[in-house]
């Protein structure tokens, strides 16, 4: 590495103006540590202090676990990992990493060569991953007031290991009553930690629901949140009972209505029949009168068939 830089310095002397002698009046300033997010673009903000008029000739970025340089830039030409570059060479020596990977974690040496000399600094990069939105559930699925109930909250694909906290509707923190399990995974250079939290109630109070499950990363910055609505068995039974009562009432009304209609029909038939019976006695004398008249006619005609 050092021999290569010496060789580049020799090349610089042939093709560039003489380096100005400014002593140690200026410095290269970069953050000592940078937290990057996997899959996103990371910018390491570096700048010159103590000097204004300065031009960058070359930069060399080397990871402490590697012999080869991770990234080089000379005369606007880059080499090494193509994901690394200068954010804006004219604006300063800030570095940019596209599609940040977990393999980018580590300690780095960064040397910048300018027309006013060269400086070197060291910094570290740590890579994190955001947790997906948590998924919540209960056991049993239908919770009964005053009975045993387990509340679950699961979050995956985050890194490093984070935390899960529980809050009820009033904001009371129930995390101390919960159990958190962390499962680490490292597959093909992709790191993740799955979080699983269980909050147990020996005698649950439905009135303090709903519960909020909040996921924090390793720095206690919130990554996600989910609200757990609890389905109450008592409320379901009340609903079913209410529906059953309504059905019974409707059925009762229908039966009573049918009985009333039947009674009215029977009463109508009864009154009609009485009306018919009331007219029959009035017809009997008429029949007797006609029979009497016929007998008189027979006597006048000399019909003595009734005489003995």
Is 114 in the same domain as 167? no
142 and 122 both lie in a single domain:
no
Residue 95 lies in a domain: yes
Phi, psi of 32 (to 5 degrees): -70, -25
73 and 168: one domain? Answer: no
Q: What is the pTM of this model?
A: 0.63
180 plus 226 within the same structural domain: yes
Q: pLDDT (tens digit, 0 to 9) for every residue of the chain, 308 residues total? A: 444 544 444 444 444 444 454 456 899 999 999 999 999 999 999 999 999 889 999 999 999 999 899 999 998 899 999 999 999 988 899 999 999 999 999 999 999 999 999 999 999 999 999 999 999 999 999 999 999 999 999 999 999 999 999 999 999 999 999 999 999 999 888 999 999 999 999 999 999 999 999 999 999 999 999 999 998 775 544 444 455 555 556 556 565 766 676 666 666 666 666 665 555 444 444 444 444 444 444 434 444 443 44
> Both 143 and 87 in a single domain?
no
Assigned domain for 274 exists = no
- Note down the domain range covering 56: 2-128
pLDDT on residue 231: 81
**Tokens 């939105």 belong to residue:** 133
Instruction: Based on the fold, state whether residues 223 and 112 are members of the same structural domain.
Output: no
Same domain, 156 and 96: no
Q: What is the 3-state secondary structure (H, E, C) of 46-62?
A: CEEECCCCCCEEEEEEE
Q: Which residues contact 176 (CB under 8 A, 6 or more apart)?
A: none
Q: In this structure, are strands 33-37 and 106-114 parallel, antiparallel, or unpaired?
A: unpaired
Q: Would you state the pLDDT for residue 19?
A: 46
What is the β-pairing status of strands 71-74 and 135-139? unpaired
- Specify if 289 maps to a domain: no
Residue 266 falls inside a structural domain: no
Q: Say if residue 87 is in the same domain as residue 16.
A: yes
The residue with tokens 């740590």 is 126
Residue 89 and residue 165 share a domain: no
Residues 199 and 148 in one domain: yes
Tell which of 204, 234, 264 closes a domain.
Answer: 234
Q: Do residue 167 and residue 142 come from a single domain?
A: yes
Counted domains in the chain:
2
Residues 113 and 154 in one domain: no
Domain contains 247: no
The domain that holds 166 is classified in CATH as 2.60.40.10
Retrieve residue 284's tokens.
Answer: 């009997």
- Phi/psi region, residue 287 (left: phi>0; alpha: psi -120 to 50; beta: rest), is alpha
Q: Of the candidates 203, 199, 202, which has an alpha carbon nearest to the alpha carbon of residue 214?
A: 199
Residue 189 forms part of a structural domain: yes
Residue ending a domain, among 234, 253, 270, is 234
What is the structure's pLDDT at 245?
A: 58
């Amino acid at each position: 590495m050092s021999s290569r830089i010496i060789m580049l310095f020799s090349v610089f002397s042939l093709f560039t103006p003489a380096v100005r002698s400014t002593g140690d009046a200026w410095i290269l300033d970069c953050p000592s540590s940078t937290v990057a997010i996997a899959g996103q673009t990371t910018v390491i903000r570096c700048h010159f202090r103590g000097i204004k008029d300065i031009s960058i000739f070359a930069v060399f970025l080397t990871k402490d676990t590697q012999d080869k340089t991770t990234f080089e830039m000379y005369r606007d030409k880059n080499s090494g990992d193509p994901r690394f570059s200068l954010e804006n060479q004219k604006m300063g020596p800030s570095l940019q990493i596209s599609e940040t990977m977990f393999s980018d974690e580590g300690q780095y040496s960064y040397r910048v060569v300018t027309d006013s000399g060269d400086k070197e600094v060291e910094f570290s990069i740590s890579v994190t991953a955001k947790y997906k939105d948590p998924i919540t559930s209960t056991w049993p699925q239908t919770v009964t007031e005053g009975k045993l109930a387990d509340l679950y909250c699961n979050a995956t694909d985050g890194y490093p290991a984070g935390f899960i906290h529980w809050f009820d509707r009033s904001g009371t923190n129930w995390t101390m009553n919960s159990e958190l399990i962390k499962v680490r995974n490292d597959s093909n250079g992709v790191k993740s930690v799955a979080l699983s939290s269980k909050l147990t109630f020996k005698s649950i109070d439905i009135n303090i629901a709903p519960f909020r499950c909040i996921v924090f990363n390793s720095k206690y910055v919130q990554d996600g949140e989910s609200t757990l609505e609890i389905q109450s068995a008592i409320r379901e039974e009340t609903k079913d009972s209410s529906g059953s009562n309504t059905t019974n009432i409707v059925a009762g009304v229908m039966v009573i209505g049918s009985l009333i209609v039947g009674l009215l029909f029977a009463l109508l038939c009864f009154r009609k029949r009485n009306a018919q019976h009331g007219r029959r006695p009035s017809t009997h004398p008429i029949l007797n009168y006609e029979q009497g008249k016929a007998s008189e006619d027979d006597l006048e005609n000399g019909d003595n068939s009734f005489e003995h």
